[in-house]
């Protein structure tokens, strides 16, 4: 929503400030409050205290509803050219169901007049982030998901007819033993290399050498070496061995999880390519060779890419022929646990920069676990390659197992995509400053 004003004669700095506050209040009110109140604000010139009063009243009402199990409080911030407003879900709704971030684009404004007001005049306006002294660009490219090679095969619903084993819901908590390294913020690393735990911890404290441009060009690539990996078709507590756990239907296999991750990156302002090329069908052998070729072709076409994520689903068998489904509960819903595999080089894998990948893995791990406690299994740091030699910033991510449902895995994809995006944005802000 853009709020436009009619050109007028030159106004005083104080009048300009009031005009800005009126337009800002109208933008907020149009989304959060009733149209009559929005109209009232947009025509009221005495906005000193008014915008804060309206915001506080609305926030108090939402917080009161929250006391009876309703919505979370509102939030508001300026982000470059957009006014970002968090609209909570309706009473009784879950955040994951209906909560949303709503960008409201504002028109160009003259910010110079802010310098003529002492900081004391702005005290108490906690809901509005102070505007930058320099005008932001209002022509920033929009982030998007560039999907390619996504299969259109549609398969019939799966119905189990035999009970060949049990699905056991479990949660892999923190690991014990000398090979597990606790990271500073949250999460662990399972160190199966010759590096000491102290050296691994020291590396985890270093930022990866990457910097997002956020210019609309693709900077993340999501691929699937084992594209047909699929999940339990429904919330069964058993499995039928006639179901292979593989599917050519992109709405049911690991590609659907990659799509959720991609959408979360784009929602954070990072353009991503999501490639659904089949690498493990009709032949499973040499899947990694075929996916390596896919990655190289895409990198040649899009040299702007900084991070390559190969998204898989794991397979863990339990006792007595059972299948384990690692889950954690987040906001009342089961989310599949996730594991990052960061490959190390003992001199035989042609990965001289493997520690750059590990630093990225440690960064992602800490953000994911901190944002949603229990969602991660320890990063597995071990001697292998998994195509992570192609470029720094390459990782393999296992989301759930063949015992998890697709919905559990997709929910996790949404959550970890948000955490990984924020981690990369924080690195970019750190480098930029």
Looking at per-residue confidence, does 183 or 162 come out higher?
Answer: 183
Domain that holds residue 422: 145-432
Q: Is residue 137 part of a domain?
A: no
Q: In this structure, what CATH number is given to the domain that contains residue 366?
A: 3.40.630.40
Residues 155 and 289 in one domain: yes
* Count of domains for the chain: 2
Residues 285 and 414 in one domain: yes
* β pairing state of 180-182 and 188-192: antiparallel
* pLDDT at residue 433, rounded to an integer: 59
Look at residue 180 and tell me whether its pLDDT is greater than 90: yes
Q: Is residue 166 part of a domain?
A: yes
- Please report, rounded to a whole number, the percentage of residues in the chain having pLDDT higher than 70: 67
Residues 95 and 165 in one domain: no
Residues 51 and 151 in one domain: no
Q: Is residue 284 part of a domain?
A: yes
Residues 395 and 248 in one domain: yes
Residues 113 and 170 in one domain: no
Counting Cα atoms < 13 Å in the Cβ hemisphere of 274 gives 25
Name 336's bridge partners.
327
Look at residue 327 and tell me whether its pLDDT is greater than 50: yes
Region 158-165: mean pLDDT is 88
Q: Is residue 133 part of a domain?
A: no
Residues 157 and 38 in one domain: no
Last residue of a domain, one of 67, 89, 122: 122
Q: Is residue 64 part of a domain?
A: yes
Q: Is residue 97 part of a domain?
A: yes
Region 309-319: mean pLDDT is 96
In 252-357, DSSP assigns E strands to 272-275, 307-314, 323-330, 333-336, 338-344
Write the DSSP assignment of 40-75 as a string of letters.
HHHH-S--TTHHHHHHHHHHHHHHHHHHTT-PPPPE
Q: Distance (Å, rounded) from C-alpha 312 to C-alpha 288?
A: 12
Closest CA to 324 of 403, 412, 398: 403
Q: Is residue 417 part of a domain?
A: yes
Last residue of a domain, one of 78, 107, 122: 122
Residues 166 and 263 in one domain: yes
Could you tell me where the DSSP H helices lie in 128-196?
Answer: none
Looking at per-residue confidence, does 273 or 115 come out higher?
Answer: 273
Residues 223 and 319 in one domain: yes
Q: Distance (Å, rounded) from C-alpha 17 to C-alpha 48?
A: 10
Alpha-carbon dihedral angle through residues 231, 234, 236, 240, given to the nearest 10 degrees: -60
| Lowest mean per-residue pLDDT among 100-109, 242-251, 331-340 | 100-109
* pLDDT at residue 59, rounded to an integer: 56
Residues 266 and 331 in one domain: yes
* pLDDT at residue 57, rounded to an integer: 58
Give one word for 362, left, alpha or beta, with left for phi > 0 and alpha for psi -120 to 50. alpha
* pLDDT at residue 234, rounded to an integer: 86
Question: In the numeric block, which tokens belong to residue 13?
Answer: 């700095």
Please state the φ and ψ torsions of residue 97, each to the nearest 5 degrees. Answer: -85, -55
Residues with Cβ within 8 Å of 383's Cβ and at least 6 positions away in sequence, in order, are 192, 193, 343, 344, 345, 346, 349
pTM, full prediction = 0.69
End-to-end CA distance of the chain: 31
Q: Distance (Å, rounded) from C-alpha 393 to C-alpha 398?
A: 16
- Per-residue pLDDT of 6-18, as tens digits, reads 333 444 555 555 5
Last residue of a domain, one of 87, 122, 157: 122
Name 344's bridge partners.
383
* pLDDT at residue 160, rounded to an integer: 87
Residues 349 and 206 in one domain: yes
Q: Distance (Å, rounded) from C-alpha 412 to C-alpha 368?
A: 10
* pLDDT at residue 242, rounded to an integer: 87
Q: Is residue 134 part of a domain?
A: no
Residues 154 and 93 in one domain: no
């Amino acid at each position: 929503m853009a709020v436009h004003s009619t050109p007028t004669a030159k106004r005083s700095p104080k009048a300009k400030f009031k005009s800005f506050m009126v337009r800002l209040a109208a933008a907020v009110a149009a989304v959060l409050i009733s149209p009559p109140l929005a109209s009232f604000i947009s025509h009221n010139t005495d906005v000193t205290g008014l915008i804060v009063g309206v915001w506080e009243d609305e926030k108090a009402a939402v917080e009161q509803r929250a006391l009876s199990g309703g919505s979370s409080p509102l939030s508001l911030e300026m982000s470059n050219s957009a006014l970002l407003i968090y609209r909570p879900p309706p009473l009784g709704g879950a955040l994951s169901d209906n909560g949303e971030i709503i960008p409201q684009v504002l028109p160009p404004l003259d910010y110079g007049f802010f310098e003529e007001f002492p900081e004391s005049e702005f005290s108490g306006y906690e809901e509005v982030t102070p505007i930058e002294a320099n005008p932001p660009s209002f022509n920033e490219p929009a982030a998007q998901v560039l999907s390619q090679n996504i299969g259109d095969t549609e398969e019939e619903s799966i119905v189990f007819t035999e009970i060949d084993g049990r699905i056991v819901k479990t949660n892999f908590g923190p690991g014990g033993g000398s090979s597990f390294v606790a990271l500073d913020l949250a999460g662990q690393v399972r160190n199966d290399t010759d590096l000491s735990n102290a050296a691994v911890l020291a590396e985890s404290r270093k930022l990866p050498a990457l910097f997002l441009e956020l210019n609309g060009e693709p900077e993340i690539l999501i691929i699937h070496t084992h594209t047909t990996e699929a999940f339990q078709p429904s919330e069964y507590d058993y499995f039928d061995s006639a179901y292979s756990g593989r599917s050519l239907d992109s709405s049911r296999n690991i590609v659907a999880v990659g799509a959720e991750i991609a959408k979360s990156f784009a929602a954070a302002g990072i353009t991503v390519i999501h490639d659904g090329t089949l690498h493990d069908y009709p032949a499973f052998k040499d899947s990694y060779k075929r996916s390596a070729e896919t990655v190289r072709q895409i990198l040649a076409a899009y040299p702007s890419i900084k991070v390559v994520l190969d998204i898989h689903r794991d397979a863990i068998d339990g006792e007595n022929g059972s299948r384990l489904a690692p889950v954690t509960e987040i906001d009342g819903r089961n989310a599949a646990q996730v594991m990052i595999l960061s490959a190390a080089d003992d001199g035989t894998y042609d990965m001289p920069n493997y520690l750059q990948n590990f630093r990225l893995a440690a960064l992602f791990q800490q953000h994911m676990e901190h944002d949603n406690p229990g969602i991660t299994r320890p990063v597995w740091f071990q001697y292998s390659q998994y195509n992570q030699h192609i470029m720094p910033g390459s990782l393999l991510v296992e989301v759930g197992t063949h015992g998890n449902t697709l919905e559990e895995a997709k929910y996790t994809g949404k959550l970890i995509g948000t955490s990984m995006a924020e981690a990369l944005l924080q690195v970019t802000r750190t480098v930029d400053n």
